[in-house]
Structure 1
Amino acid sequence: MWWWQFTTLCLVCGHFMNKKKKPKKSCPVSTDTDWLVVWKAVCVAARLHRKRFHSFPVRQPYLQKVIQCCELLHQHVETVQPTSLAAYLLRDALLFHPGAVHSLADSFDKELLQLAQLLTEEKSSLNAHLGSLSRQQSGNFSQSAVSATPLMDRKTSNYALSRSNSDASFSASLASALDNSMSHSGIYTRQDDELDLAFSSDEEENDGEPTKISSLSKCIFLSEVLFHLLEWKQLLEDGLLVPISAQYCEYARQVVDFLRGSNDSLETQIEHLVDEIENKRMKA
């Protein structure tokens, strides 16, 4: 019987040595590395979006958007940290499920969840101010967006896809460009979406920049606008001339002017894409 005692002793010693080799982590709740926390945040976002959207082609653009925006942030913002990206991923999902933050306390550090909640509040503040500016410039944008929807339905059946032969892929791209670009960025509000913002008269009268908005939230907002512009550009390259893309380009200019000085790289890239999209529209 000595062999199982020897095996048990080896396992205990191996487990002890393995624990000694592991580096100490600053996170009091989780023992994950920074980039592993980002991956966990992606998994949580996918799970929360699955509760909202039962069909993958419908929910896929939302998760695709936030992941690609993380890539844009990592590319254009030198000071961005993996924990900031994880907080952004959680923020995007918590917009749909604000009560889920309590169930995440065992999986993420308290400071990370507090940052995600702060980003959620700042997102609403930026949406309110920028949405107010957009309505003053372009009028009733929601009506024009709704009237464009049948046009896009007809385009779906008439154009071949250059990116993919899958109708689901096209639907995902189209939903990402139209739905996310408008409702998720505060262009207009939809009555059937719980993300609708209740704009007060005080918010509409105040055109100044919202107070106490962090640089991270401003860069996130710019990265989302940049992502949507990339989607519009891709749709134009696919042969789809979307009338409301011109209004989104105008909105993108307003965002850059409103948040001027937040991040030169993102602002320059947005202005370059706006000019490129407008040139493509003129040649179409």
Structure 2
Amino acid sequence: MNVDTMDLIEDEAVEGTDNEEDDDSPSSTGSNYEDTPNLMDVAMENEVTAQLVAAGVVGVAAAAAITSSKKKKRPHSFETNPSIRKRQQNRLLRKLRQTIYEYATRVGQQAVVLVATPGKPNNIYKVFGAKPLEDVMKNFRSLVMDELETALAQQAPPRVQEDPSLFELPPLIIDGIPTPVEKMTQAQLRAFIPLMLKYSTGRGKPGWGRDSTRPPWWPKELPWANVRMDARTEEEKQKLDPCFEKNSFKLLQISQ
């Protein structure tokens, strides 16, 4: 048995395994995006991916990635918490990098990992793996991103007609991903609250500390002050209550 025959048998074995695991494996390698099943129809059936689709280009790209990659034997789900999602991204990218280098070394094939996020001012485009294929893919960045945006545009649902009589508040979208308030980080909340106040009050600045600029709906139990400032009076700062003793040290707790 010669080398070419051995490679052919190995490739057929690998392809057979993939087809057994993935029932929706493509039968051809054509580039006609219209022949691809509409991923957005499937995405709209799920609450999380439907919200992603409505968020714009970045969300459509994320929804397409989730829908096309989700398999019955892989019970993974999209992480809506941005902090956890960032940690998972870094961990999995390190794992991918190790895997692709191991594959190139052990198998001796040109292989790369390509990570792309369109729809941002500076589109994310990361490539790592075996050279020279890595350099080739980096040189094709513009072409790949254009083709990706074209494919996503064909998958995107039609825009819903907006009601001109309603004032649209800014959507809770961070880096193209819908992010509920309860899952925002401190930094994201510091950026969101002034923006929310701007749209709500019509003023460019919140006017922290002035009763005349405090909105009537602002919670009474919350001080009308910048989060970076200590809004307590000197008298409130002096209110300390004994909490408990531990190891002969008395710990104090600030009264609220």
State the TM-score, normalizing by the size of structure 2.
0.27
Point out which structure has higher relative CO (alpha carbons under 8 A, 6+ apart).
1
Rg comparison, structure with higher value: 2
Task: Pick the structure with more strand per residue.
Answer: 2
TM-score by length of 1: 0.25
